[in-house]
Structure 1
Amino acid sequence: MNLSALLTSAGINTAICVVLFSLYSVLRKQPSLVNVYFGQRLAQKRVKDHDPYWLDRFVPSASWIMKAWEASEDELLEAGGLDAVVFLRAVVFSIRIFSIVAIICLFVVIPLNYYGQEMRHDSITAEPLAVFTIDNIQEGSKWLWVHCFSLYVISGCACFLLYHEYIDIMKMRLVTVTTSLSAPSYFTVLVRGIPWSLEDSYSGTVSKFFSNYYASSYLSHQMVYQSGPIKRIVTLKSDAEKLYHKFKHPIAESRCRPMFMKCGLCGGSTPSFKRLACDSEPRRNDFGGSKMRTKECAAALVFFRSRYAALVASQSIQSSHPMTWVTDPAPEPRDVYWSNLCVPYQILWIRRIFIFVASIALVIFYLAPVVLVQSLVQYDKLQALQKIFPVFKGIFQRRFMSQILTGYLPSVILMLFMYLGPPIMFFFSTLEGSISRSRRKRSACIKVLFFIIWNVFFGNYLSGSVLDRIGRASNVSQISKQLARAVPLMAKFFMTYVMTSGWASLSCELIQPFGLLYYYFYRYILRYKDDSSYGTMTFPYHTEVPRVLLFGLLGFTCSIFAPLILPLLLVYFFLAYLVYRNQILNVYETKYQSGGLYWPIVHYSTIFSLVVTQLIALGVFGIKKSKVASSFMFPLIIATLLFNEYCRQRFHPIFKDTAAQVVIEMDRQDEASMRMEEIHAKLPSSYCQFSSKCNNMREPIPVNDCEIGTGVRFEELEGLDHDSPTLVIRP
């Protein structure tokens, strides 16, 4: 592949992006698609669309770009929470560092690579891409000092920017924690591994244990129940309650329905039904008498009188048997993943081992398509595969087909295979037993990150070397040389992968093809007319964070070896900055968040990318017979690892635990202002296991707050630009 072919590929991908971006600017104006492209805003307001016919709806415009660009960080924090701001900070960090890297490498390193050997140069567009890589530098050249010094500057700038980003995000997390200390999760502890007793139910056992050992701080508790039978009982109870209100208040029924979160399981009270016991005294006459005991799980949510007491209980070993009375900080009510709370704690370690083995097996399985992709990239190695598959011999010899095989097809095949990985890893994270939705998504993010780094980077890197040894009769002494030269030689594949996977993924993110298909299936196949029941999506951190970090790894490792990839990466990061800001503001609803815990993943991944780059440089300088430049890599690697250890000691504890000083001061303030009793009264009704509304609502709305007979007031949907569909208030 030469430079003109790369520019042609970039032009084609640019045209595709322009077409899809223009299509998005038209689709977002259609009133019928407001649920797809404005789900985040519609989740907070009840509206319906109005369908006027006006010409501007079918004319592409760039107003959404200006809206996304002008949005402040406070608006993003309100719309997407701290996790969204942290993700966008990772994109901004990538823009900053790779702008510096591009300036250094495009104006200093590329000219040295281009004139690294005495040779006759043709026109730049006709030059092969290998001329612009470090592979064109002669062995023992004194210019390798420039590459070594450039890597020092790049590593120093990356660490400097990481340090300041860590400080800013740590401050934002502390502010978020301080402002959310009134949340019920800070008073709540999740208890699992409750021992079985022949004399008492699980509820009675929990009450006796915490009344005995936490007598001064224990408030009450709420049991976790098996979802199947209890959910059916609650559904019958809810239907009966609605029927009761329909007869008693037929006019008000259409305006103010009794909230499902006032069910007995939530700790609230209802006017005509008994409340299911979730306090210290077990009641065996509710919903089937003593049979309820068999529906309880060996898990409970225990409420304490102060935040500090809950913090101490969640971080302490409660019993001499570590597999019983296991305590953890409780997630937020909307963040609890109830299905996994009933999983016996004693078998979780077996699940984790099984998931670990299954994840490794999946990575090994994916080496097969990676080797296939590399066989297509390296056309001169197809001769070895033709001996295995003679039927393809005639196809490989055609020039047009060879260009397709070595150009678009490899990156497209790999991209399609990579789309299957994240859903599987997400399923694995569910089986692991995560107690919260945010922890499940964060666990899936780490698995997907390892998955794509190994298969996209190391898998292509190693499989290319294997195919190279198949195509040539190489002895063992040449293997290390071939491995060290693999990164600059693989640059052309990584360039096309950035365009086909990176640019194309952003276009698909805007268009939301799966959301469109689901909406049309929901509306026209299932024929649901009520759009308010159309579900909104949460931001897919487990796919987008690994993709951004993978491109960061490609940028660092190719920086001084194959700098032509840097402009393509900068285009991706600038587009990602605009696209993701728009999606966070308009599309994705924030139902739960982790409080910025994605930043340590970004930090460690960046340090890993820097160390891998420095190790590759160590090998390349050794192959180029520059012993001095190679020896200077050791201090850089050690300094990078020491910087990472300092950040781990300085910042990571803030992201792991809550400071006791903060919660004690908050407890004292609430006790002085007499707010503690009010908080205690709301705790039993804060967690509702069997209500989806309960998990999605930010604040409980009591039934008594609705004014019967006077109508219900709704606010208008604000903040939409003039290209957005016209919206009216639902009566």
Structure 2
Amino acid sequence: MNISALLTSAGINITICVVLLSLYSILRKQPSLVNVYFGQRLAQVQSKRHDLFCFDRLVPSASWILKACETSEEEIFSAGGLDAVVFLRMLVFSIRIFSIAAIICIFLVLPLNYFGQEMQHKQIPSESLDVFTIGNVKLGSRWLWAHCLALYVISFCACILLYTEYKSITKKRLAYVTGSPLNPSQFTVLVRAIPWSSGESYSDSVRKFFSNYYASSYLSHQMVYQSGTVQKLMNDAEKIYRMLKSAPMEQHCGLSLMRCGLCGGTAQPFKVLSSEPESANGRSDYADSDLREKECAAALIFFRTRYAALVASQALQSPNPMLWVTDLAPEPKDIYWTNLCVSYRLLWIRRTATLLASVLFMIFYLVPVTIVQSIAHLDKLQKIFPFLRGISERKFLIQLITGYLPSVILMLFLYIVPPLMMLFSTLEGSISRSGRKRSACIKILYFLIWNVFFAQIFTGTAIDRVGKISSAKDIPNQLARAVPSAATFFMTYVLTSGWASLSCELVQPFALLCHLFERFVLRNKDDPSCGTYTFPYHTEVSRVLLFVLLGFTFSILAPLMLPFLLVYFLLAYLVYRNQILNVYITKYQTGGLYWPVVHKTTIFSLVLTQIIALGVFGLKESTVASSFTIPLIICTLLFNEYCRRRFQPVFTSFPAQVLIEMDWQDQQCGRMEEIHQQLRSAYYQFTSISSKQCKAAHPSHCESEDGDGVQDLEDKAPGEKSTIVQETQVERLHLEIEELNVK
């Protein structure tokens, strides 16, 4: 590939980015699309306002960029939680380290690569990209010490920045733990693999076991039940309720006769069920409907103190490790109830099966990767297959095929990976939604590193060998050029999968199409479901880390890639800040557990870069550069080991000292009794239309939280006060959005 093909790909992607960014700045100003582009700010408040047409709505503006830059980290934390802060800190780290790498490599390494051999250079547009890589440096060149020096500077700066970020995020995680004193998950332990006894139920076994061995700290417990089809019906009922709750009660019938009972029903023929479980109300709301089909061998155990729950979760409860297995419970909104009923003895079988399925899928995926790499090496295929030589007569077609088409095809194939990996993570038996997403993130990351990075290099090397190898002596030279020559493909991949995907992220095409379908096809003018997505950490973290790997690997081998990556990270920082503030809703989070994944992947990228550089220096017959690279690898591994022992334990368990101090403070302030009462109603397996949801939608319709939990809505009509309050909230939100768009 030459420079003109790269510029063709860059021109196409820049045009796409400009068009999509301009389209986004127009679409976000339309009042009818508020639910799509301001779902986080509107939350569950439904808009009723219809403004008159204004010409300013059709003019692109950059107000969202200014707002994204001005937003503080505290606002990011309040909008997206600690995971959002960690994600943005990852982007800040990438911007800093690759700014340093770009300055060093562009001004020091790139000229040495370009003039590495005595040759007649062509004009820049016709120049091959290979002359800008380390492959153009002649054997035994004395200038390879500059590449080694640049590698040292980049590695040391990366370690310093990693240590600073790890230390800062560790403090933020501890503040996150202490900043939520009423978090019920800190008092709750999930126990699975409860042994079956013919003489008593699972509930009796749990009560007997923990009353005997944790008599001073055991508070109560709640069994986990298999809900089956009934749970699905209740989830559907909740979705229907959310669609109806924002509209006036009289509109659901269409005629006012329904309020008089002449059409065979009351004004509101459904009841609102309490979210309080049986232990709190003294009776079950579901006793008559037989919702609890069967007890599972799992239960949630509530303890009197946080420290007692921590000890119980980490202790081996039985001589048989496969019985009475305990873990700290996830937060109530984060818990994944379906997997709690999976037999603990089957989990290892599930994990083995998903591992084998993931490996087979990665192997099967080599087929499209090989096809993509073949298109990228069209000039080599023409020598193998002579019938392709006719294409070379059309210069622009060659530039389009080799510079743009391969990365587009690979990106389209990659769209099937995230949902499949999410399915594998679900089958593994994760007990939390955030844990399932984090597991999917790791799987996608492994997949991208192998199938996008290594597979592209290996398949490209195979094509080169078929076309050029004439003797065994040529094999080392071909391997020396394998990684640097792959930079030509990855530059276009950064443009397509990086720049263009960020523009699509802003426009939200899927949410936009869903909204238009609901509005114009289904004639649903008030669609509260659009714009209520959670942040896709499993796809975005893995994608950013792949670009980090590419940045480190090609920093000294092909420095021309660094400006493209730096633009991607800067654009990603602005786009994701805007999306976290305006679009995505935080329903659950891991509490910063993505940072250890970021740290380990960055260390892997550094070590891989150093190993590849060591091999290239050896093939280039530079003994000095090779000798100095070995201590750098050892120092990087020692740094990783120090960070693993210094910071990682905080992310795997809660510090006992912190939890004990929190328990003391709650006991001295008299809050412990209040916490114990909230524990009884925090975890509720059966999703229902709760009284709190009804009160948020129509305050005048619902009873107080001190009632029995069931309230008929037959004779209640929406009061003027609640309507005025809701309209005032909507007006205030519209004013805030207008301030964001028009400044």
Q: What TM-score results when the alignment is normalised by the length of structure 2?
A: 0.89
> Separation in 2 of the partners of 1:408 and 1:143?
34
Partner deviation per Cα, 1:56-90 (whole Å, 9 max, x = no partner): 11111110110111100000000000000100000
Kept in 2, the 8 Å contact 1:502–1:572? The answer is: yes
Counterpart of 1:170 in structure 2 is 170
> Separation in 2 of the partners of 1:603 and 1:438?
19
Counterpart of 1:604 in structure 2 is 600
AA matched with 1:429 = S
Kept in 2, the 8 Å contact 1:45–1:717? The answer is: no
Q: Matches of residues 128-143 of structure 1 in structure 2 within 5 Å?
A: 128-143=128-143
Is residue 452 of structure 1 aligned with residue 448 of structure 2? yes
Partner deviation per Cα, 1:350-387 (whole Å, 9 max, x = no partner): 00000000011111111111111111111232147638
Residue number among 616, 621, 624 corresponding to 2:620 in the alignment:
624
Q: Name the % identity.
A: 62
Kept in 1, the 8 Å contact 2:94–2:548? The answer is: yes
Residue number among 461, 468, 472 corresponding to 1:472 in the alignment:
468
Partner deviation per Cα, 1:669-702 (whole Å, 9 max, x = no partner): 11111111111111111112122677998x9999
SS of the equivalent of 1:21 reads helix
Kept in 2, the 8 Å contact 1:262–1:269? The answer is: no
Is residue 18 of structure 1 aligned with residue 18 of structure 2? yes
1:420 Cα offset (Å): 1.2
1:329 Cα offset (Å): 0.4
Q: Matches of residues 548-627 of structure 1 in structure 2 within 5 Å?
A: 548-627=544-623
Counterpart of 2:83 in structure 1 is 83
Partner deviation per Cα, 1:442-481 (whole Å, 9 max, x = no partner): 0000000010111111010111111112223444453343
> Separation in 2 of the partners of 1:629 and 1:695?
70
SS of the equivalent of 1:632 reads helix
AA matched with 1:720 = E
Kept in 2, the 8 Å contact 1:384–1:470? The answer is: no
SS of the equivalent of 2:704 reads helix
Kept in 1, the 8 Å contact 2:277–2:684? The answer is: no
1:16 Cα offset (Å): 1.6
Counterpart of 1:275 in structure 2 is 284
Counterpart of 1:486 in structure 2 is 482
> Separation in 2 of the partners of 1:198 and 1:309?
30
Cα gap change, 1:692/1:375 in structure 2, threshold over 3 Å: closer, same or farther? farther
Aligned residues: CA RMSD = 3.1
Counterpart of 1:638 in structure 2 is 634
Kept in 1, the 8 Å contact 2:274–2:285? The answer is: no
Counterpart of 2:733 in structure 1 is 717
Counterpart of 2:349 in structure 1 is 350
AA matched with 1:226 = Q
AA matched with 1:262 = S
Cα gap change, 1:137/1:220 in structure 2, threshold over 3 Å: closer, same or farther? same
Partner deviation per Cα, 1:567-609 (whole Å, 9 max, x = no partner): 1111101100000000000000000000011001111111111
> Separation in 1 of the partners of 2:48 and 2:122?
62
Aligned residues: 702
Counterpart of 2:711 in structure 1 is none
AA matched with 1:295 = K
1:526 Cα offset (Å): 3.6
SS of the equivalent of 2:301 reads strand
SS of the equivalent of 1:48 reads coil
Counterpart of 2:254 in structure 1 is none
Partner deviation per Cα, 1:104-163 (whole Å, 9 max, x = no partner): 011111111122122233443432212211111111111000111110001000001000
SS of the equivalent of 1:221 reads strand
AA matched with 1:717 = L
Partner deviation per Cα, 1:171-224 (whole Å, 9 max, x = no partner): 111100111132111111111111222222221221111111111111111111
AA matched with 1:525 = V
1:659 Cα offset (Å): 0.5
Is residue 665 of structure 1 aligned with residue 661 of structure 2? yes
Counterpart of 1:281 in structure 2 is none
1:263 Cα offset (Å): 4.5
More off after superposition, 651-660 vs 190-199? 190-199
AA matched with 1:323 = M
> Separation in 2 of the partners of 1:496 and 1:33?
33
> Separation in 2 of the partners of 1:69 and 1:670?
39
Is residue 262 of structure 1 aligned with residue 285 of structure 2? no
Cα gap change, 1:658/1:543 in structure 2, threshold over 3 Å: closer, same or farther? same
Counterpart of 2:57 in structure 1 is 57
SS of the equivalent of 2:738 reads coil
SS of the equivalent of 1:297 reads strand
AA matched with 1:355 = T
> Separation in 2 of the partners of 1:215 and 1:132?
71
SS of the equivalent of 1:485 reads helix
> Separation in 1 of the partners of 2:329 and 2:577?
30
SS of the equivalent of 1:118 reads coil
Counterpart of 1:530 in structure 2 is 526
Counterpart of 2:650 in structure 1 is 654
Gaps of 5+ in 1: 278-285, 727-731
SS of the equivalent of 2:385 reads helix
SS of the equivalent of 2:219 reads strand
AA matched with 2:662 = M
Kept in 2, the 8 Å contact 1:377–1:407? The answer is: yes
Cα gap change, 1:232/1:564 in structure 2, threshold over 3 Å: closer, same or farther? closer
Partner deviation per Cα, 1:690-723 (whole Å, 9 max, x = no partner): 22677998x9999416999673334332783436
Q: Matches of residues 79-478 of structure 1 in structure 2 within 5 Å?
A: 79-228=79-228, 230-231=230-231, 260-264=273-277, 267-269=279-281, 274-275=283-284, 286-287=287-288, 295-383=294-382, 386=385, 399-478=395-474
AA matched with 2:627 = S
1:12 Cα offset (Å): 2.7
> Separation in 2 of the partners of 1:419 and 1:533?
23
AA matched with 1:287 = D
AA matched with 2:307 = Y
1:48 Cα offset (Å): 3.2
Kept in 2, the 8 Å contact 1:334–1:695? The answer is: no
Cα gap change, 1:556/1:229 in structure 2, threshold over 3 Å: closer, same or farther? closer
AA matched with 1:299 = A
More off after superposition, 347-356 vs 39-48? 39-48
Cα gap change, 1:695/1:510 in structure 2, threshold over 3 Å: closer, same or farther? farther
AA matched with 1:648 = R
> Separation in 1 of the partners of 2:271 and 2:51?
32
> Separation in 1 of the partners of 2:416 and 2:373?
19
AA matched with 1:146 = A
> Separation in 1 of the partners of 2:399 and 2:125?
17
Kept in 1, the 8 Å contact 2:5–2:402? The answer is: no
> Separation in 1 of the partners of 2:295 and 2:233?
14
Partner deviation per Cα, 1:254-277 (whole Å, 9 max, x = no partner): 99x976443545x4439xxx3269
> Separation in 2 of the partners of 1:137 and 1:174?
50
> Separation in 2 of the partners of 1:413 and 1:51?
43
1:521 Cα offset (Å): 2.5
Counterpart of 1:282 in structure 2 is none
> Separation in 2 of the partners of 1:633 and 1:192?
50
> Separation in 2 of the partners of 1:695 and 1:100?
55
Counterpart of 1:729 in structure 2 is none
Cα gap change, 1:7/1:338 in structure 2, threshold over 3 Å: closer, same or farther? same
